């Protein structure tokens, strides 16, 4: 005869302990990510965090100045009301974009190249910083030269006859960025990846190629780009860039 004390109520019956290592039925294992993918994801997340910080700082500065900047110049200047309507500055006039202050005084060259090829000057400066640290005499182990680190074949294709000449080099790099940006419909990450690894590699892999240098390069330029934009207070659209290896 069964002892009632040994019978458990259905509602109190203990569930069977789960077996470690087993997945619930109907689920799939999460694919493992290799070290290169994890490193790139972390670097890109860090660059995006820095970008958001710069945007927040710019928004705060803009909000603080909005009360004043929204007024016509005549009112800002404190002219008497009866003279404000006579002021030559009473109409809103867009101020010219500030020239980037770059090491070596290359800001005007960057502006010239940006206007000629429709590329954001802050992006050109970011590529220049990442590629050569603003050194016009820089030469990579692969043979890339100058501020924008143009490979000889790439330079010839861009019409650059002397890659060691700073102006020609900057114009060539800006031209390449503009071409790549158009090819990839303004996608900044793909533009930068193609500048570094070549558009053939980007097309072959359908995105940023799995090269350690390229996956490190893209976040570096993105972070430098945000710093350059913060300097001139712009939020201009993104543009492409090119490294000194393997174009």
Q: What domains lie within the chain, and their CATH numbers?
A: 104-247 (1.10.530.10)
The pLDDT of residue 34 is above 60? yes
Look at residue 151 in the predicted model and tell me its pLDDT: 96
Q: Which of 82, 129, 131, 213 is catalytic?
A: 131
- Is 131 among the residues known to form the active site? yes
Round to whole Å and give the CA distance between 32 and 10: 41
Calculate the average pLDDT of the chain. 76
Q: Which pLDDT tens digit goes with each residue over 152-161?
A: 999 999 999 9
The pLDDT of residue 57 is above 50? yes
Q: Which pLDDT tens digit goes with each residue over 219-229?
A: 999 999 999 99
Judge whether 201 and 243 are in contact, CB under 8 Å.
Answer: no
**Residue by residue, what is the 3-state secondary structure of 136-160?**
CCCECCCCCECCCCECHHHHHHCCC
Q: Who contacts 103 (Cβ-Cβ below 8 Å, separation ≥6)?
A: 134
Look at residue 162 in the predicted model and tell me its pLDDT: 96
Task: Please give the average per-residue pLDDT across 97-102, as a whole number.
Answer: 80
* Distances from the Cα of 96 to the Cα of 72, 113, 235, angstroms: 17, 16, 15
Of 43-57, 160-174, 215-229, the range with the lowest mean pLDDT is 43-57
């Amino acid at each position: 005869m069964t002892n009632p004390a040994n019978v458990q109520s259905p509602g109190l019956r203990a569930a069977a302990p789960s077996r470690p290592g087993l997945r619930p039925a109907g689920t799939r294992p999460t694919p493992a990510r290799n070290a290169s993918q994890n490193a790139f994801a972390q670097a890109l997340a860090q660059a995006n965090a820095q970008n958001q910080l710069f945007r927040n700082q710019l928004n705060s500065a803009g909000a603080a100045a909005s009360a004043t900047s929204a007024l016509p110049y005549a009112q800002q200047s404190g002219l008497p009301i009866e003279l404000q309507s006579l002021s030559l500055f009473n109409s809103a006039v867009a101020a010219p974009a500030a020239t980037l202050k770059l090491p070596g005084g290359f800001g005007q060259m960057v502006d010239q190249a940006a206007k000629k090829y429709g590329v954001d000057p802050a992006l050109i400066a970011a590529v220049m910083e990442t590629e050569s640290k603003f050194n016009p005499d820089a030469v990579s182990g692969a043979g890339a030269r100058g501020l924008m680190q143009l490979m000889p074949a790439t330079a010839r294709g861009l019409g650059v006859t002397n890659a060691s000449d700073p102006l020609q080099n900057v114009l060539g790099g800006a031209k390449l960025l503009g071409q790549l940006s158009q090819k990839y419909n303004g996608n900044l990450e793909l533009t930068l990846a193609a500048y570094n690894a070549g558009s053939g590699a980007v097309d072959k892999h359908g995105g940023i190629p799995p090269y350690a240098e390229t996956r490190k390069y893209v976040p570096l330029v993105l972070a430098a780009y945000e710093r350059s934009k913060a300097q001139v207070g712009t939020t201009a659209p993104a543009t492409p860039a090119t490294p000194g290896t393997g174009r």
